[in-house]
Amino acid sequence: MTCVVRVQEADFDLGAEIRALRLGNPRIGAVASFIGCVRDMNEGDSVGLMYLEHYPGMTERELEKICAEASGRWDIFDALVIHRVGELKPLDQIVCVVVTSAHRGESFSACEFIMDYLKTRAPFWKRESTPQGERWVDARAKDDAAAERWKQ
Amino acid sequence: MTIQLVFLARLRERFGVSRENFELPAQTPTHTNTVATLLAALREQGGVFAEELAEGRAFRVAVNQDVVQLDHPVNAGDEVAIFPPVTGG
């Protein structure tokens, strides 16, 4: 299993990333991907700008651990996680996860697992600008519940 | 003994510092520094430290970049990060 983790300010091109993963690997029969984007509304307020902070070093380590856990649970070939940091605005892409495998079930499950664990374990924080001023986004119990269900 | 504290996101803003050295009592046969004793020492500074790190407040602690529980040991030279629950993705 190969695991690639990138934390960057720059945008990414999912099509190019998938093409690069599939290149010369005819064992891949399935590719599942997820993209998270900046919404223009959160908690009932309009969001103009968003700033994403992280904990350099720990972020990469934690994402690699999550991908390794996914490969321990499912038979997958590649796991790619790209997460952007810095200033973002509505419509921007924030994060992508791509998983490849021989059959679709493994890719679908591993992709969702990686996202659920990223949401609760990877040290990123969002600060958003609303008409009421700047605020740090609060963690959501729904995200904890989503990660928790993989333990059953 | 000296450790390095790292504060992130909302806590970095509240404490007005992102990284600083912090002195803890030397380890002895009868005294072991842990995350719990570190938090107690930080709370003793009062003000925003006592407020934000009060028991029951939601924050996480990582020692050398691994999230740990209150009984985890803290040794000289460790990097101890304190941060709010994460909100990425």
Q: In what order do the strands lie in the sheet with A133-136?
A: A86-88, A49-54, A124-130, A133-136
Query: Which residues from A are below 8 Å from B86, CB to CB?
Result: 119-125, 139
Strand order in the sheet with A30-37: A2-8, A78-84, A93-101, A30-37
Distance from CA of A45 to the nearest CA of B (A): 17
CB contact under 8 A, A127 and B65: no
Q: Which of A112, A65, A56, A61 is nearest to A86 (CA)?
A: A56
Check residue B27 and give its pLDDT. Answer: 86
For the stretch A56-65, pLDDT in tens is 999 999 999 9
Contact B65 A53 (CB under 8 A): no
Tokens 């904990």, residue located:
A55
SS3 of chain A: CEEEEEEECCCCCHHHHHHHHHCCCCCCCEEEEEEEECCCEECCEECCEEEEEECCCHHHHHHHHHHHHHHHHCCCCEEEEEEECEEECCCCEEEEEEEEECCHHHHHHHHHHHHHHHHHHCCEEEEEEECCEEEECCCCHHHHHHHHHHHC
What is the token pair recorded at B29?
A: 């046969």
Interface confidence (ipTM) of the complex: 0.93
pLDDT tens digits, one per residue of A73-88:
999 999 999 999 999 9
- Predicted TM-score (pTM) of this structure: 0.94
The per-residue pLDDT string of chain A (152 residues; one tens digit each, 9 = 90 and over) reads 999 999 999 999 999 999 999 998 999 999 999 999 999 988 888 999 999 999 999 999 999 999 999 999 999 999 999 999 999 999 999 999 999 999 999 999 999 999 999 999 999 999 999 999 999 999 888 999 999 999 87
Rounded percentage of chain A residues whose pLDDT exceeds 70? 100
Say whether residue A90 is in contact with chain B using an 8 A CB cutoff: no
CB contact under 8 A, B88 and A124: yes
Residue type, B58: A
Contact call for B87 and A123, based on CB within 8 A: no
B→A interface, C-beta within 8 Å: 6, 8-10, 58, 62, 65-67, 81, 83-89
Q: What domains does chain B contain, in order, with CATH numbers?
A: 2-83 (3.10.20.30)
pLDDT tens track for A132-145: 999 999 988 899 99
Q: Cβ contacts (< 8 Å) between B10 and chain A: which residues?
A: 125, 136
**How many CB atoms within 10 Å of residue A72?**
9
Q: What is the 3-state secondary structure (H, E, C) of B13-31?
A: HHHCCCEEEEECCCCECCE
